[in-house]
Amino acid sequence: RQQQRRSGKRIAQATNTYKSPTRFDIVMIADDSLIETRNPQSKLVGRAKGLYGSTCQHQLAIIMSMSFVFVDGPNNGNCISLFGNNKSIVPVHKMPIVSNITMFLLAGGYTVAQTHRVDFKSTDAIVGCIVISVH
């Protein structure tokens, strides 16, 4: 049986959030699956845990603070954290690695994220990530 793959939950919003086409002023929390491929049945390798919120009234712009916690393979038990703008409408974008613990303590790098699918009504998205880290 597959685990639930998405978990984005609204934790705060303004009174006019749903009048905005960009969902401005909404804040979400997530504990999502990190899987090997974009196939929903692929192997679970970790969890993406954090916060994200819509920060622009005129175009889609999301600020994100997310930790990738690995639960399998050589990085099992390790974590990297990202913070930055997630431009979901831009096909490929980069976010810096800002914090690391365990074996990645002194690592630096960035994540290249590619949005494969986004549903603005449900705020559900499938985003592929390539993590480039030097440690």
pLDDT in tens, 17-41: 677 777 777 888 989 888 888 787 8
pLDDT in tens, 117-126: 777 666 677 7
Give the whole-angstrom CA distance, residue 72 versus residue 70: 6
**Which of residues 31 and 116 earns the better pLDDT score?**
31
Q: Are 69 and 45 in contact (CB under 8 A)?
A: no
Q: What is the pTM of this model?
A: 0.78
Two structure tokens written together for 6: 């998405």
Nearest to 3 by CA among 42, 55, 51: 42
Tokens 């929390």, residue?
A: 29
Greatest mean pLDDT among 23-32, 35-44, 45-54, 83-92 lies in 45-54
For the sheet containing 44-54, what is the strand order?
Answer: 9-12, 27-35, 44-54, 62-70, 79-86, 92-101, 108-119, 124-134
Q: Looking at the DSSP assignment, which residues form a beta bridge with residue 95?
A: 111
Give 13-65 as a DSSP string: --TTGGGSTT-TT-EEEEEEEEESSSSTTSPEEEEEEEEEEE--SSS--EEEE
